[in-house]
Amino acid sequence: MARHYLDHASSCPLRPEARAAMVAELDAAGGDPGRVHEEGRAVRVRIEVARDQVASFLGVRPRQVVFTSGGTEAVNAAVFGASRARPGRAMVAAAVEHSAVREASVRSGTVLELAVDGAGRIELGHLAELLGSPPPGGVALVHCQWANHETGTLQPVGAVVAACREAGVPVHVDACAAVGHVGTDLGALDADLVSVSAHKFGGPAGVGALVVGAGRRFEPFVVGGHQERARRAGFENAPAIAGFGAVAATLAAPDRLEREAELARQKVAGLLDAALVIDGVALLGDRRPEGRLPHLVCLGLEGVEAEPVLIGLDRAGIAVHSGSACSSETLEPSPVLAAMGVDAERSLRLSVGWSTTEEDVAAFATAFAPVLQGLRALRT
């Protein structure tokens, strides 16, 4: 049976450019990039080329890019650095933030919950209240995702950063779901800390970056060496870094990101055309295409829970994800959807990417209604 992958928001298949760069690095003479011998210097040069490529794509200076093992480590590093710089102060985060953001913040101390609207978008008025009347001791860090990982809703990230800057409060932007899918000029944004993950847009798994605002300093989360200008210890994953850089360079080509976004919107429109004609299926999050990520949609499913729908589609050869409850690790209601005031246990997330074909869209259109209707029939 042919397989059809519609879960790019979880992990996007490796792009050919990344694979080629990684193979070249694996075939090269290995060396410690921290050493002065020729072998070490050669690896160092290739790492710095990749850093330049990532920085250029993100609109920042190379020295602002700190390579990490992925977005989760970048988030934890941001929280750790902010909590050490402002000990005892609270953090501000909405319930729609990724679990890495929420859990790292809770471990650091008090967390103030930032309100969101029915689309999962941050309420700027509530942020102003929190910044205007902070808790005793003040605020250590405000979190704002660039776009929601379950619904695709784009956040008013520029307004959040501006409000935090005026209040003199550091801000961390989780851009893992957004980078590689929409324009993310981090230089213009000027946030204090931004987390990025390579595998979300076709780079290799196991590498990401924490982008540090110009002139900002923070205490490193991972210690034990002087790598990454003493901001993240550990032997650099040169093949993964090379793949990260290659994908960044590919997407930095003129109009490349815009073209891919338009193709993604067209494929998502085809998925929605097949889904929204069925009674009891609704689009969650921002309903406007311009208000959400181009490659991702979340559907509310009336009358049936997520897990059997996922299993039914998987048996039909289609890989999707639930925006609500079901994964290989947990089976819990989604705090994102609960914060939006919608059913947190009955949803389906569909996401496309660079390798998605019209056949993938057609396969979903053929299988979705029979799977959903069959499950509803069992219920009755």
Question: pLDDT of 1-14, one tens digit each?
Answer: 899 999 999 999 99
- pLDDT(324) > 60: no
Q: What one-character DSSP code corresponds to residue 285?
A: S
**Which residue out of 12, 164, 298, 326 is catalytically annotated?**
326
Beta partners for residue 233, in sequence order: none
Strands 90-94 and 65-68, bridge-based pairing? unpaired
> H/E/C letters for each residue in 258-277?
HHHHHHHHHHHHHHHHHHCC
| φ, ψ at 224 (rounded to 5°) | 125, 10
Beta partners for residue 112, in sequence order: 92
- Whether 326 is a known active-site residue: answer yes
Range list of H helices, the chain: 16-27, 38-58, 71-85, 99-108, 124-132, 157-167, 186-189, 227-230, 238-251, 256-275, 306-315, 335-340, 358-379
Q: What pLDDT score was predicted for residue 325?
A: 44
Burial of 207 (0-12, 13-18, 19+ CB in 10 A): buried
Domains of the chain, earliest start first: 4-13+255-379 (3.90.1150.10), 16-251 (3.40.640.10)
Torsion of CA 117, 120, 124, 128, to 10 degrees: 90
- pLDDT(327) > 50: no
- pLDDT(329) > 60: no
Q: Is the dihedral of CA 117, 120, 122, 126 positive or negative?
A: positive
Question: pLDDT by residue (tens digit) across 335-361?
Answer: 999 999 998 889 999 999 999 999 999
Please give the model's pTM, rounded to 2 decimal places.
0.95
Neighbours of 348 (CB within 10 A): 26
Of 53, 45, 77, nearest to 232 by C-alpha is 77
Share of the chain above pLDDT 70, in %: 97
Q: Is the dihedral of CA 269, 273, 278, 279 positive or negative?
A: positive
As a whole number of angstroms, the distance between CA 284 and CA 116 comes to 14
Tokens standing for residue 78: 């941001």
Which is more confident, 343 or 167?
Answer: 167
Query: 201, 355 in Cβ contact below 8 A?
Result: no
Question: pLDDT by residue (tens digit) across 145-157?
Answer: 999 999 999 999 9
- pLDDT(111) > 60: yes
- pLDDT(380) > 80: no
How high does pLDDT run on average in the chain? 95
- pLDDT(256) > 70: yes
Q: What pLDDT score was predicted for residue 1?
A: 80
318-342: average pLDDT? 77
76-105: average pLDDT? 96
Q: What pLDDT score was predicted for residue 330?
A: 55
